[in-house]
Amino acid sequence: MQNWIGMILGTLTVRVTGGSHERFMNLCAVYNRDMWDFRAEGDSITVKVRASEYKNLRKAAHRAGVRLKIIKRHGIPFWLRRYKNRYGLVAGILVFCLLLSFFSSRIWVIRMRGVEGEIEQQILTQMKQEGITLGTRTSAFDFATVRQKLIVACPQISWMSLNPSGSVLNVDVSLRTAPPLVLDHQQPCNLIASVDGTILSMNIKNGDPMVKVGDGVVKGDLLVSGAVEYADGCTVFRKAEGEILAETKHRVTFQVPYEQTHSCYTGKTKRRYAFHFFGLSLPLYIGSVSGTYEKTDRYRPLVIDQVALPIGIYESKFALTQPLTVHLSREEAVAEATEKTMEYVSQSLPNCEITAINYQKEFTSTHALVTAEILCKENIAFAEKMLIFQ
C-alpha cells in the first residue's frame, strides 16, 4: 500500500551525510516525519520520503548538522513533469482517450447467427429501419423493445436475442418450423372440380359419384359426395377419395411487337472503388459513370480472427450497355409467342398431360397477337371439407 501511495503522490530517495545521523533520525521522529527504507552506505544513510515532506526535513537536518541530497525521484508527478513541455504527446494521449471512448460506445460489427441468405438481409433491413446500423450508439436503443418489433415485423422468426458486447452486436435468431401436415383420414369431405372440363375416366376409391364419364363440369361442381346413403335410409359421412381425369382447356394470349429494343452489352466495363471506414464511405475515384449500364456491387471487409471489421473496400462494377433495336418478321413474332407459350405450360401446368395446342394468329401493322388454346388431360378432383354442422 505504501508503494502505491508513493507512486501516486511522488517519492524521493534522499542521502544523509555529515553531522549526527542518530540525532537527525530522532528529530524526524519528534517532528513526526514519515520516512522508511533506511539503509546505511558507509558514512551516509539513504531514506525514502514523500515528495511533500522533503521541505520539512530541512529543520531537522539543520539542527543535526547533516546535509541532504536527493539522489532519485519516483512516481507519477515526476513522470508528468518530464513531459510537461511536450504538447504533442499530451494532445495525442487526449485524442486517443476520446477516440477510445467514442468507438467503444458504438456498434461496429453486427454478428448474425442462426440465419442466412434472404431472411438475414430482411432482418438487417428491418434493423436499419429501427435505426440500428454500423456506428450507432449502443446506449441509444432499448434492445428488448427492438427485439419485439423485429419479431412482429418478421413472422418467420420464432425467437431472437440482441446482445451487445463491446462494439459487437450479437444477433441470435431461431426460425419458425412449419408443423408437418397431418391428414385426417377420418374427416369427411367431398371431391369437387378444380377447373372446367369433360370427364374422361373415373377411379373412385371411396364416396358416392355424382357424375359419369362424358359429362361436362364447371369449376366447383360436386364430383364425388362423401355422404353415402344406404338402402335402409341411413346416411354415412365419409372421406371421398379417387382420381377423375378430364379434358380441360387453358387459353393464353401473347402480344409480340415487331419492333423491339433490347439492352446489348458493349463488352466494356468500368470499376469504381470506395474505402469503407467505420460507417463512412470515402470514394477513391473522380467523376461518375455515364450512359446505360448494369451495376453489381461487392464488399470486401477486413477479416481478423473470423470477425469482419467495419473496414473494407466497396467495388462497383459497371457493365456498359447500349440500346439495340430489332425488327421481327411475322414468322419470328409467332415463334417468340410459341416459345412463351411453352414457358407458360412448364410453369403453370406442370402436372398436366398436354394433348394438343391450337394457335390463333392475328396480325396488325405493329404487332402479332397469338392466342394459344391448350388441351390437357389432368386430375380435376379437389378435396373439400364437408360442413356437417351448420
Sheet holding 157-165, edge to edge: 109-113, 168-175, 157-165
Q: For the residues of 207-256, what is the DSSP string, one character each?
A: SEE---TT-EE-TT-EEEESEEEPTTS-EEE-B-EEEEEEEEEEEEEEEE
Cell output for 235: 346416411
Cell output for 365: 401493322
Tell the burial category of 24 from Cβ atoms under 10 Å away from its Cβ (0-12, 13-18, 19+).
buried
Cell output for 334: 409467332
Closest CA to 13 of 42, 40, 47, 39: 47
C-alpha span between 6 and 105 (Å, rounded): 34
* Mean pLDDT computed over every residue of the chain: 85
C-alpha span between 87 and 144 (Å, rounded): 45
Q: What angle do CA 40, 44, 49 make, to 5 degrees?
A: 75
CB 109 within 8 Å of CB 309: yes
CB 57 within 8 Å of CB 68: yes
Name the pLDDT band for 181 (thresholds 50, 70, 90). very low
**Which pLDDT tens digit goes with each residue over 348-384?**
888 899 999 999 999 999 999 999 999 999 999 998 8
Cell output for 90: 499530451
Name the pLDDT band for 141 (thresholds 50, 70, 90). confident
**Which pLDDT tens digit goes with each residue over 248-258?**
999 999 999 99
Phi, psi of 213 (to 5 degrees): -60, 135
Lowest mean pLDDT among 12-16, 106-110, 319-323, 372-376: 106-110
Q: What is the mean pLDDT of residues 84-104?
A: 80
Does position 60 have pLDDT exceeding 60, yes or no? Answer: yes
pTM attached to this predicted model: 0.50
pLDDT of residue 370: 93
The fraction of the chain above a pLDDT of 70, given in percent, is 95
pLDDT of residue 335: 92
CB 198 within 8 Å of CB 177: no
Q: For the residues of 330-366, what is the DSSP string, one character each?
A: HHHHHHHHHHHHHHHHHHH-TT-EEEEEEEEEEE-SS
The count of C-alpha atoms lying within 13 angstroms of the C-alpha of 41, restricted to the half-sphere facing its C-beta, is: 11
Q: What is the mean pLDDT of residues 206-220?
A: 91
